[in-house]
Amino acid sequence: MSLRSVLLLSLTALFLGTSGCATRYQDLLRDRDAEIRDLESKLANSRADNEDLRRQLDDARTVQVAPAAAPTGDGELAKVQGDLPDLDVRRSRGRISIGIENTVTFDPGSTGLKSGASSMLRRVADVLKRDYSDRRIYVEGHTDTDPINKTRGQFRSNRHLSTERADAVARWLVQNAGIPERQIAVVGYGPFDPRDSGSSDQAKARNRRVEIVVGEAY
């Protein structure tokens, strides 16, 4: 074989080898580019997921918790009614009121408490001290509309009589039940806050009463 043929064959082999390397190199570049694109895609998806998680976290931090539904019944009122089932326990102007008819506490035209009133007032005081030691207690006196006859020289008006009776109950609560005097306020309504608007004897009897009302914190 001539030298020229040898050189030609060598150049051909070299060219083919170089061409093969170039092809493999191009394949590697394509694989690298494909892998880079795949990683960039995954990175973008991760960033999107992180953004969603961040928004969810922000929403969880700022969401307002809805208040619990208010109870449908009046548990406080029911409790006091259960403790004092024989008294007129009700809501009056949004407050717990314990009504005591005058037949239980006072003789007609008198401001002196009957001897039998003590046991009833003791039970009321127990409820007040147990549940309402931090609340203002209003002792409210009420009368009917009949004018004062037998003791009109002693009392200026029905309002005066109702105030004196309320004060008698308040003094009993302070002196015999240990309720602090500063906690109690005395109010005399006279006939001007009737329990019953009727004019019968039964209606008038319902209106002659003392109400012990639980007020605001003091």
pLDDT, tens digit (0-9, with 9 covering 90-100), for 26-73: 766 676 666 767 666 666 666 666 666 666 666 666 544 444 444 447
CA–CA gap between residue 155 and residue 168 (Å, rounded) = 14
Q: What is the pLDDT of residue 150?
A: 79
The residue that leads in pLDDT, 217 or 23, is: 217
Q: Are residues 108 and 27 in the same domain?
A: no
Domain containing 207 equals 75-217
Q: Are residues 8 and 52 in the same domain?
A: yes
Q: Are residues 61 and 83 in the same domain?
A: no
- In a domain? residue 204: yes
Q: Are residues 131 and 59 in the same domain?
A: no
- In a domain? residue 156: yes
CB proximity list for 103: less than 8 A, separation 6 or greater: 205, 208
Contact 194, 207 (CB under 8 A): yes
**Using CA atoms in the order 195, 198, 204, 206, what is the torsion angle rounded to 10 degrees?**
-40
Q: What is the DSSP letter of 145?
A: S
Q: What is the pLDDT of residue 57?
A: 65
Amino acid (1-letter code) at residue 89: V
Contact 203, 196 (CB under 8 A): yes
**Using CA atoms in the order 120, 126, 129, 130, what is the torsion angle rounded to 10 degrees?**
-140
Q: How many CB atoms lie within 10 A of CB 114?
A: 14
CA–CA gap between residue 162 and residue 209 (Å, rounded) = 9
Q: What is the pLDDT of residue 71?
A: 44
Q: Are residues 149 and 97 in the same domain?
A: yes
Please, what is the average pLDDT of the chain? 83
- In a domain? residue 38: yes
3-state secondary structure of 108: coil
Q: What is the pLDDT of residue 53?
A: 65
Q: Are residues 200 and 160 in the same domain?
A: yes
Q: Are residues 39 and 109 in the same domain?
A: no
Residues 128-156: tens digit of each pLDDT: 999 999 999 999 999 999 998 877 789 99
Q: Are residues 153 and 186 in the same domain?
A: yes
The residue that leads in pLDDT, 209 or 36, is: 209
Question: Residue 114 maps to which CATH number?
Answer: 3.30.1330.60
Q: Are residues 132 and 89 in the same domain?
A: yes
- In a domain? residue 195: yes
Q: Are residues 96 and 179 in the same domain?
A: yes
Give the neighbor-by-neighbor strand order of the sheet with 135-142.
Answer: 88-92, 95-101, 209-217, 135-142, 184-190
Q: Are residues 155 and 191 in the same domain?
A: yes
- In a domain? residue 45: yes
- As a 3-state breakdown, the chain gives helix, strand, coil percent values, each rounded to 5, of 55, 15, 30
Mark which of 35, 65, 95 sits at the end of a domain. 65
Number of domains the chain is built from: 2
